[in-house]
Amino acid sequence: MFKRQFICRFTYQKPSLVRQNLRNLSQQIPKNSQPSTTTTSSSWSFKSHSKKYIFFGILGAGTITYFSNDTFHDGVRHTYLTAGRVSVVTWATLQCFYHYRKVLNSSHESKTEYYDDLSKCHLKCAKITLKALEKNGGIYIKLGQHISAMTYLLPREWTDTMIPLQDKCPESTFEEIEQLIKTDLGLPIEDLFSSFDKSPIGVASLAQVHIGVLKATGEKVAVKCQHPSLKQFVPLDIYLTQSVFTALDKVFPDYPLVWLGDELQSSIYVELNFNKEAENAIKTSEYFENFQKETALRIPKIVSSSNRVLIMEYIGGARLDNLDYMSEHHISRSEVSSCLSHIFNNMIFTPGVGVHCDPHGGNLAIRPKPATDANPSNTHNFEIILYDHGLYRNVPTQMRRDYAHFWLALLDKDQEKMQKYALKFAGITEEQFPLFAAAITGRDINTALNYDASKIRSDEEVKNMKDALAGGEMLTDLMKILSKIPRVVLLILKTNDLTRHLDETLQNPLGPERTFLILSNYCAKTTYAEECELSRKDSFIFKWFNYFKAWIKYQERSSQLFIYDLIMLFQNWIHS
């Protein structure tokens, strides 16, 4: 009670006195001052700038971390590059979708006008794709090389546009190669090589090759180094390519290409293992030592290998389409053609050998046989060099036999058997057969069913075939057929296409006849082995009778090649 009275007495003042005190107080305070809100204003000012402080603080800390921490630095760089690769693929895909949709959904007054517009669209989209593949590099270059080789399937505008990718590939820096060798081989370059060329002699989609001299032995070697960037981007690139092909399949179901993405995925990781490439090279080299007379094949000797670095003997040479080089060194083009036919038919038809999966012109070279080479089994004055053994495929036994029967029927012009074995080894129906026969022989449909091995393809026939594939139903039907056949059959088609192209490039004076007689000989040998195996199940008398019948059929085929060679030998002797 006392307190309350005291406070009341102390605080109570007359109203007039209160007003006077307020006036005195207001005169003491500056006009711009707001004392009652000083604390609040200060708090508001800090809050308004706190976001800026936090932003610049994080930016500063991030900058310091980026330049001082390699792991963080690499992570940021990888994220940036990943986003770039994705955007390149996405933008190119959207542009191609737009252009094709525009042509396919437009009305045309005639088929000729439609095919002209489609051809222009093919070329425009191929150029867009080429730029995207070149920008991303790596396996995209590999994809472009596959496209350039599929002349039996894709329009000329696409295959011709991708040709530069066979020789024009992004190069890794010497610093990257130096670090790669140190990481994979455990020693710096100067400890392994007495000399090492900083500039590569060749750059491919997956690797580049440098010339070096081994410090330990003084041997001149070729050092194949995988592009270091592949390791971090291959999984992403595989995913992107498969996504693009899947999208293409949904938007353009008449042009199925999903199998191309699947093929790339199944092969790329094998090709990136250089230890496997070394194993394939050694195995193939040892096998063909016994066939030097027929093939003149030379495979560089392997010195050492790791997952990403392959060291082999250096063997230089010229491309097989360099006719001036062959003339200069007195190399017979007809002999070269025969050797190529023996090499690849031996791979296809011999059990356990395996077929080289990338037999394009850049992986083959030729050189005069060195005078120091004392190999008596090689009677030729040249050697055919085969590079890049990263991927081989084995042809299943029954498929190999059915394929042999198919070619024998084709050469005999027996359409009934041709259709029978095309169905067996490739799943080709009677309706699809004429187009498939044209694809596998490289002839137009009118001549494919009545195949004449001695007839050379004219320029007009080649042009008509390519024009037919440039658009229309034939291309659609062919893509549908080839998208469903086994991948090994596609590889065989690719190999056939290569040998046929090289044979024409060599301008073989003997024409294709001897090439097909060699093929016939390998087919006959394959079917003879099959019939002998089946005869073992017969009774004793029938077994030997069937053996003899099979042997007669084989001799009939092989004697054709023997007689042909005798005639050619006699003609050369007369004109010499």
Work out the number of other CB atoms within 10 angstroms of the CB of residue 220.
14
Q: Which residue has the tokens 């092989």?
A: 558
For residues 469 and 410, what is the distance between their CA atoms, to the nearest angstrom?
A: 23
Please list, in sequence order, all residues whose beta carbon lies within 8 angstroms of the beta carbon of residue 114, skipping any fewer than 6 positions away: 103, 108, 471
Q: Indicate the DSSP class of residue 296.
A: -
Residue from 259, 255, 238 nearest 97 by CA: 255
Bridge-partner residues for 385, per DSSP?
298, 365
For residues 551 and 15, what is the distance between their CA atoms, to the nearest angstrom?
A: 138
Work out the number of other CB atoms within 10 angstroms of the CB of residue 255.
15
For residues 309 and 278, what is the distance between their CA atoms, to the nearest angstrom?
A: 10
CA dihedral sign, ordered 537, 541, 546, 551? positive
Please list, in sequence order, all residues whose beta carbon lies within 8 angstroms of the beta carbon of residue 506, skipping any fewer than 6 positions away: 320, 321, 323, 333, 336, 337
What is the separation, in whole angstroms, between the first and last Cα of the chain?
Answer: 146
Q: Which residue has the tokens 């066979």?
A: 166
Which two three-digit tokens encode residue 195? 């000399």
Q: Indicate the DSSP class of residue 352.
A: T
| C-alpha distance from residue 297 to each of 292, 341, 367 (Å) | 6, 12, 11
Are 335 and 298 contacting, i.e. CB atoms less than 8 angstroms apart?
A: no
Helix (H), strand (E) counts: the chain:
24, 11
Angle between helices 487-505 and 333-349 (to 10 degrees): 170
| Residue 262 annotated as catalytic | no
Are 255 and 248 contacting, i.e. CB atoms less than 8 angstroms apart?
A: yes
CA dihedral sign, ordered 110, 436, 337, 563? negative
Residue from 448, 443, 447 nearest 433 by CA: 448
Radius of gyration of the chain (CA): 36
Are 338 and 293 contacting, i.e. CB atoms less than 8 angstroms apart?
A: no
Q: One of 74, 167, 262, 358 is an active-site residue; which one?
A: 358
Residue from 261, 262, 528, 488 nearest 355 by CA: 488
Q: Which amino acid is at 312?
A: M
For residues 408 and 428, what is the distance between their CA atoms, to the nearest angstrom?
A: 17
Q: For the chain, what is the largest distance between any 2 Cα atoms, rounded to a whole number of angstroms?
A: 149
Which two three-digit tokens encode residue 510? 């003997």
Residues identified as active-site: 358
